[in-house]
Amino acid sequence: MRVKGKHCRTVWMEGREVFLIDQNQLPFKFKIIKSSSYKETCRAIKTMLVRGAGAIGAAAGFAMAQAVLEGKREAGRREIEATRPTAQNLFYAVKRVYNARDAYQEAQAIADEDAESCKRIGEYGNKLIKKGARILTHCNAGWLAFVDYGSALSPIYAAHRKGKRIFVFVDETRPRGQGARLTAWELKNEKVPHAIIPDNAAAYFMSQGEIDLVIVGADRIAKNGDTANKIGTLEKAICAKRYGIPFFVAAPTSTFDLKCKSGKQIPIEERSREEVLYQTGITKRGKVEKVLVASPGSIAKNPAFDVTPAELIAGYITEKGILTPKKFQTARHPRL
Amino acid sequence: MRVKGKHCRTVWMEGREVFLIDQNQLPFKFKIIKSSSYKETCRAIKTMLVRGAGAIGAAAGFAMAQAVLEGKREAGRREIEATRPTAQNLFYAVKRVYNARDAYQEAQAIADEDAESCKRIGEYGNKLIKKGARILTHCNAGWLAFVDYGSALSPIYAAHRKGKRIFVFVDETRPRGQGARLTAWELKNEKVPHAIIPDNAAAYFMSQGEIDLVIVGADRIAKNGDTANKIGTLEKAICAKRYGIPFFVAAPTSTFDLKCKSGKQIPIEERSREEVLYQTGITKRGKVEKVLVASPGSIAKNPAFDVTPAELIAGYITEKGILTPKKFQTARHPRL
């Protein structure tokens, strides 16, 4: 994607250094961070400076390459795998780089494949989008969540470039607000007409006939098609089912976890309650402030993901084409 | 309810003056505001200094009494009715006070009836709550939303006082956060164990078998049982249906609008997009700050209510008992 007229990936590696867009500072500041060691890159993954399935995968691959170059192959793998438990791409990338002859080359290949897969997801997904379509998306499965293009947003960008006059409903995506902050920022950057809505409002717009299609990303897809994605995805899928709105998951096949028989086996990360109780934003004076937005002394629960059962999913938009859940479950797996 | 050891209603009238708890300052500050004219009381309703079905109704009744005492009977009615379009209690109270011989006495009677109805809702609703029940609620239909006791929270308080060891999941309720701010504050004040959850997480906890019962309030209930309530209520009802969790609406019969045949006729208030794009909270230094939490330049849509169809509702907890939707639709209406 282009930012301020310059092409830019979300994460890349040069020599022993990994470069990342600091997503915690977006949408208020666009800043590139340099990480000089695998430990620093681990911290970037853990603090969600880099986040999103593909971007985590690529960053983890680069971190593994850094660990190998630092002579910390075993310790590095353990530490990197401990950063985020849900994202399949992380385990996929770490394993590939760990087993490779040339760790650096392999990490670069993973990043390139991610970008290429996402581009193809856009081309396949575009076929599902009719002229004038009003599309709901949840969280950020855009360019920022991958190395380039994105998964759920890639078909949206492709349709927009074809002049289909689409409109995107952007779920705010509490508690971290990746929709309001990152997806809205990306769509504005690409001049795609959109509006942010509270997560609570998706069913309302569905009930009013204002949403034609839902496309979301995925953090891990089990063998039976059950899909772990950002908390709230399950609610949107249940509501879409009620209103007969097609619900698609867009993800490169690196997100499929064949060892995982069903969604019940996917571990769900519980994140800090602070993410729910506090909100960070920018004041009118341009200062970043963290404010308590809940009743002092109350606790919060903060599961970061949920699992959407395959029966609620109309299809999976992958770099190898659009798979229906049935096809997905009976056919030879695309990665095999 | 008791606050800091003293019994306090949400709104009351003495002479020509109306007193209100400033709900925009909660949970950070507990402050009583005095309104000396119907115009001031209108502003308090419009800016949501007072909010919630019953509290709006009582405040509107008092405002109408103020207008009568100020000799502005006609203009007053028009202005008060223009403050908030969705809440049935507002129109109910204004009409009663407007038509009464003694406006002041009538407004007082409405407030007293509201408190008494809510107390009975607690007694009836308590019967639905089993020992150890884990209950989800949305928005704030508590003491603060009425003159006293609350609707959805009244059964919860009753069950808690009976020692049933209940636990309450509190939906944050974006965009204004009435769950995180007001319901959590009320529950803490009454020492009821609870946790705030992001609105996105309700289906997740339902899917994990962690929620036994849902109780919400209502802003207007149509003749066929369709219920307008805070945005997001529809999503929770659809999800509860999927997981076979009973979904109850608690409301005094003043919330029923018999002239409204179905939910399609209920007007839905669209509020300012600023409520979605900005968040107000308190900094570590104790200062109230408003911060932008979305991508600068993106717009938002902000419908304040949605309509839950009667088929998703297990029953209506009223001051006259628990009505099933079927009973509700075929029986003589409780208010007739």
A258: domain CATH number? Answer: 3.40.50.10470
Provide the 8-state DSSP code for A270: B
Kindly state the greatest CA–CA separation across chain A. Answer: 58
- For A295, the closest of B174, B180, B283 (CB atoms) is B180
- Chain A residues inside the 8 Å CB shell of B139: none
- Does residue A150 form part of some domain? yes
**A305 within 8 A of A219, measured Cβ to Cβ:** yes
Q: Name the burial class of residue A290, with classes exposed (0-12), middle (13-18) and buried (19+) by CB atoms within 10 angstroms of its CB.
A: middle
Q: Per the domain annotation, does B18 fall within a domain?
A: yes
Last residue of one domain, picked from the residues A95, A117, A139: A117
Region of B19 (left: φ > 0; alpha: ψ -120 to 50; beta: rest) is beta
Contacts of A116 (CB under 8 A, 6+ apart): A319
pLDDT (mean) for A109-113: 97
> A63 in helix, strand or coil?
helix
Taking the mean position of all CA atoms in its chain, how far away is CA B327? 24
Residue among B205, B234, B293 minimizing CB distance to A180: B293
A217 shares its domain with A286: no
The Cα–Cα gap between A41 and A22 comes to 12
Q: Hey, are the CB atoms on A203 and B280 less than 8 Å from each other?
A: no
Smallest CA–CA distance, residue A23 to chain B, in Å, is 12
Amino acid A73 reads R
Give chain B positions within 8 Å (CB) of A269: none
Is B102 a residue of the active site? no
For residue A238, give the chain B residue with the closest CA.
Answer: B239
Rounded to an integer, what distance in angstroms lies between the CA atom of residue A81 and that of residue B200?
27
At A291, give phi and psi (nearest 5°). Answer: -125, 145
Q: Are residues A30 and A135 in the same domain?
A: no
Per the listing, tokens 């309104």 go with B35
Q: Nearest CA of chain A to the CA of B103: how many Å? A: 37
- The span from the CA of B165 to the CA of B193, in Å, is 8
In terms of domains, do A103 and A198 share one?
Answer: no
- pLDDT of A334 strictly over 60: no
Condensed to tens digits (0 to 9), the pLDDT of residues A158-184 reads 999 999 999 999 999 999 999 999 999
Give me the pLDDT at residue B335, please: 43
* Structure-block tokens of residue A54: 């593909």
- Probe site for chain A from B196, B229, B264 (most A CB atoms < 10 A): B196
A233, two tokens: 């995805």
Q: Are A250 and A125 in contact (CB under 8 A)?
A: yes
Geometric angle at alpha carbon A73, from A68 and A74, rounded to 5°: 170
Spatial neighbors of B77 by CB under 8 A, at least 6 apart, are B64, B67, B94, B98
**Chain A hits for B174, Cβ within 8 Å:** 172, 174, 198-200
CA distance B32 to chain A (A): 18
Q: Is the pTM of this model over 0.90?
A: yes
CB-nearest partner of A239 from B194, B238, B282: B238
Distance, in Å, from the CA atom of B312 to the CA atom of B325, rounded to the nearest integer, reads 9
Which candidate in A139, A185, A211, A298 is best for mutational testing of the B interface (most B CBs within 10 A)?
A298
Q: Which of B140, B187, B270, B298 to mutate to test the interface with A (most CBs of A within 10 A)?
A: B298
Closest Cα partner for A163 from A142, A203, A192? A192
Within a domain: residue B335?
Answer: no
Q: Given pLDDT bands bounded at 50, 70 and 90, which one contains residue A329?
A: low
Answer yes or no: do A198 and B306 touch at CB < 8 A: no
CB-based contact B301 A188, cutoff 8 Å? no
Using CB atoms, pick whichever of A173, A203, A306 lies closest to residue B306. A203
Model confidence band, residue A4 (pLDDT cutoffs 50, 70, 90): confident
Residues of A in contact with B299 (CB under 8 A): 195-196
Q: Is A307 within the bounds of a domain? A: yes
Q: A11 with A146, same domain?
A: no
A280–B296 CB contact, under 8 Å: no
Q: Structure tokens of B63?
A: 């405002």
Q: In chain A, which residue's Cα lies nearest the Cα of B174?
A: A198
Q: Which residue in B231, B293, B296 is closest to A279 by CB distance?
A: B293
Is A294 in contact with B188 (Cβ distance < 8 A)? no
Residue B105's nearest CA partner among B148, B145, B69 is: B69
Distance CA A12, CA A61 (A): 10
* Burial track A233-264 (b if 16+ CB lie within 10 A, e otherwise): bbbbbbbbbbeebebbbbbbbbbbbeebeebe
Number of neighbouring beta carbons within 10 Å of residue A34: 10
Catalytic annotation, pick one of A219, A226, A257, A306: A219
The reply to whether residue A293 touches residue B177, judged by beta carbons under 8 angstroms, is yes
CA distance A180 to chain B (A): 5
Helix (H, G, I), strand (E, B) or coil at B122: helix
Out of A27, A235, A293, whose CB is closest to B281?
A293
Q: CA angle, corner A306, sides to A301 and A307, nearest 5?
A: 155
Is there a domain that residue A336 lies in? no
Find, in chain B, the residue whose alpha carbon is nearest to that of A204. B306
How far apart (Å, rounded) are the C-alpha atoms in residues A305 and A315? 20
Spell out which residues of chain A touch residue B289, defining contact as CB-CB under 8 Å.
283, 289, 291
pLDDT tens digits in sequence order for chain B, 336 residues long: 889 889 999 999 999 999 999 999 999 999 999 999 999 999 999 999 999 999 999 999 999 999 999 999 999 999 999 999 888 899 999 999 999 999 999 999 999 999 999 999 999 999 999 999 999 999 999 999 999 999 999 999 999 999 999 999 999 999 999 999 999 999 999 999 999 999 999 999 999 999 999 999 999 999 999 999 999 999 999 999 999 999 999 999 989 998 999 999 999 999 999 999 999 999 999 999 999 999 999 999 999 999 999 999 999 999 999 998 666 655 544 443
Number of Cβ pairs < 8 A linking chain A and chain B: 226
How large is the ipTM? 0.93
Asked if B40 and B89 sit in the same domain, the reply is yes
* Residue A335 domain flag: no
Task: Residue A264: list chain B partners with CB under 8 A.
Answer: none
SS3 state of residue A305: strand
Summarised one tens digit per residue, pLDDT across range A10-41 is: 999 999 999 999 999 999 999 999 999 999 99
Of B177, B200, B300, the CB nearest to A231: B200
CA end-to-end span of chain B, whole Å?
Answer: 30
**Residues 6+ positions from B280 with CB-CB distance below 8 Å:** A291, A293, B288, B289, B290, B291
* Residues in chain B closer than 8 A to A169 (CB atoms): 301
Number of CB atoms found within 10 A of residue B245's CB = 18
Q: CB A231 to CB B204 under 8 A?
A: yes
- Alpha carbon distance A156, A171 (integer Å): 15
Q: Do B290 and B311 share a domain, yes or no?
A: no
- Residue B334 is predicted with a pLDDT of 46
Does A110 reside within a domain?
A: yes
**B contacts of A201 (beta carbons < 8 Å):** 231-232, 301-303, 306
**pLDDT, tens only, A220-277:** 999 999 999 999 999 999 999 999 999 999 999 989 998 999 999 999 999 999 999 9
Identify the three-state secondary structure at position A265: helix
Choosing from B60, B88, B117, the residue where a domain stops is B117
CA torsion through residues B297, A53, A322, A324, sign: negative
CB A38 within 8 Å of CB A67? yes
Distance from CA of A307 to the nearest CA of B (A): 8
Query: Residues near A330 by Cβ (< 8 Å), separated by ≥ 6?
Result: none
- For residues A8 and A19, the answer to whether their CB atoms sit within 8 Å is no
Residues A185 and A234 in one domain: yes
Q: Are residues B319 and B218 in the same domain?
A: yes
Instruction: Using the Cα atoms of residue B237, residue B238, residue B241 and residue B243 in order, give the sign of their dihedral.
Output: negative
Query: Could you tell me which chain A residue has the CA closest to the CA of B179?
Result: A294
B265 and B320, same domain (yes or no): yes
Q: Which residues of A touch B170 (CB under 8 A)?
A: 298
Per the structure, how many domains does chain A have? 3
- Cα A159 to Cα A165: distance, rounded to the nearest angstrom: 8
Same domain (yes/no): A241, A289: no
DSSP bridge pairs for A228:
A220, A307
Residue A165 sits in the same domain as residue A48: no
Contact state of B198 with A276 under an 8 Å Cβ cutoff:
yes
Say if residues A197 and B276 touch (Cβ distance below 8 Å): yes
Chain A neighbors of B234, CB-CB under 8 A: 203-204, 207, 239
Three-class DSSP labels, A11-50: EEEECCEEEEECCCCCCCCCCEEEECCHHHHHHHHHCCCC
**B199 and B264 fall within a common domain:** yes
In this structure, what CATH number is given to the domain that contains residue A67? Answer: 1.20.120.420
Q: Which domain holds residue B159?
A: 122-269+302-330
Question: Is B260 part of a structural domain of the chain?
Answer: yes
Measured distance CA(A55)–CA(A11) in Å, rounded: 7
Residues of A in contact with B302 (CB under 8 A): 197-198, 201
| Mean pLDDT for chain A overall | 95
Closest to A297 (Cβ–Cβ): which among B188, B235, B279?
B188
Q: Which residue in B114, B199, B219, B226 is the catalytic one?
A: B219
Give the closest-approach CA distance of B20 to chain A in angstroms.
20
> Dihedrals φ, ψ of B39, to 5°?
-65, -40
Is A187 within 8 Å of B276 when comparing Cβ atoms?
no
